[in-house]
Structures are given as structure tokens and as C-alpha cells.
Amino acid sequence: MRWWPWSNQTQQQQQQQEQQQQNDRPEGEPVLTNYSRGQKILLEDTPPKFTNDLSNSQLAKKQERATLKEAWDSVRWGDFSLERLTSIPCFRDAGMLGFSSMFLMGSIIFIYHKSPAKATNWAMSSLILGSIVGWEQCRLKRQKSFQIAQLAKETVAKKEKPMLHNVVHDPALPEQWEAAQNEKQAQFQQSNQRLSQGSSEKKWYKFW
């Protein structure tokens, strides 16, 4: 005996949904055997997807070793080409300051001491020191510019948007504007009248 005329259709729809869920289940995922219709599935009832054999520190060390190994394996001789080196942000500034220091200090030491070995040592030391100074100076400039850009973004984000609020219109402002315009126009007309009267009263001839 059927109480609802469409109960057969609802059963067919439920069967189709169950079949679709079984088809959508990924491969290797175990099927829950202790499940009945309408029962809530808790996370504790499902099997874990990840193994927790390693602790967090061991997992971090393993990932660090893996990243270092991947970074070392990714190094190629083509990375040391002139095109790649010049694409580094602060390489140009460091190189210019380092080579300038090398030539300047090497020339001064060679002229003063007349010793090529001492001049070479001072030149190489100046190259290294100048490159480090140029690199750090460029890095600090870039860091400061990034901080200024970040502050500008935060300021714009925190800035109150006037269009979100209703603008209060004062009805007295148009009247004040019209009064000011009329006053300026009256002053302009008075100045023109004075100029015209002064020019008419002035004689065009003169006795010597």
C-alpha cells in the first residue's frame, strides 16, 4: 500500500544519487561499512588521509633538505651568464661601486708605493669592500621604497570613501555664491564707470 503517489520517483532519485556518489568517489578511498541513511559522518569515523609518523620538527628538516637539494640541482652554468647577472636588482650598483673603488685605490697605491703586488692587493680588497657597500646601499634603498609603497597602500585602504556616506547639502550655499557673484559684478561695473568718466574728463590737447 502506497501512501504517496510519487514515492516511487523519490526512491529512484535517491538510488541515482547514491550511484553518482559512488562514481565520484576517488580511487583508493575506503567505503564506509557502518553507515546508515541519514547518519552524520564525523571526522573521527573516516580514515586519515595523511600519515603522522613524523613529528613536525622532523618533517620541517626533511622539507628543508629537500628544498636545499632542489635548489642545488637547479643551479646551471647558464645562471652565471652576463645577461642573468645583470638582471639581478642590485648587481649593477654593486659592480659599479666595486670596480670604481678597485681602479681608484689600485691607481693611488701604485703611484704612491710603485709596487704592483701591493696595488693589486689593495685593488682586490677595494673591489670586494666596494661591492658589499654598493649592494647593501641598494638593498636598503629598495627596502625603504617597498616600505613607503606599503604605507601608501595602507593609507589608501584606510582612507574614508566619501561616496559611501550621504553628502549634506546646505541650502544657504547657493544663495551665498550668487551674492558673491553679484557683488563682484557690481564692483567690476563701478570700476569701468570710473575709468570711463576719468577718460572723458581728461583733455586730449596740452599747452606748453
pLDDT in tens, 90-119: 888 999 999 999 999 999 999 998 899 999
Rounded Cα distance between 118 and 103, Å, is 13
Domain-by-domain residue ranges, the chain? 77-157
Q: 72: pLDDT confidence band, cut at 50, 70 and 90?
A: confident
The per-residue b/e assignment along 142-180, b for 16 or more CB within 10 angstroms, e otherwise, is eeeeeeeeeeeeeeeeeeeeeeeeeeeeeeeeeeeeeee
- Please check the confidence at residue 8 and state whether its pLDDT lies above 60: no
Per the CB < 8 A criterion, the answer to whether 130 and 98 are in contact is yes
- Please check the confidence at residue 126 and state whether its pLDDT lies above 70: yes
- Residue-level pLDDT at 135: 92
Q: 74: pLDDT confidence band, cut at 50, 70 and 90?
A: confident
Least confident range from 141-145, 169-173, 203-207: namely 203-207
- Residue-level pLDDT at 76: 80
The percent of residues above 90 in pLDDT, for the chain, comes to 24
- pLDDT tens, position by position, 24-45: 555 555 555 555 665 666 666 6
Rounded Cα distance between 61 and 53, Å, is 14
pLDDT greater at residue 26 or residue 16: 16
Beta-carbon count within 10 A of 106 CB: 21
- Residue-level pLDDT at 165: 62
- Residue-level pLDDT at 170: 74
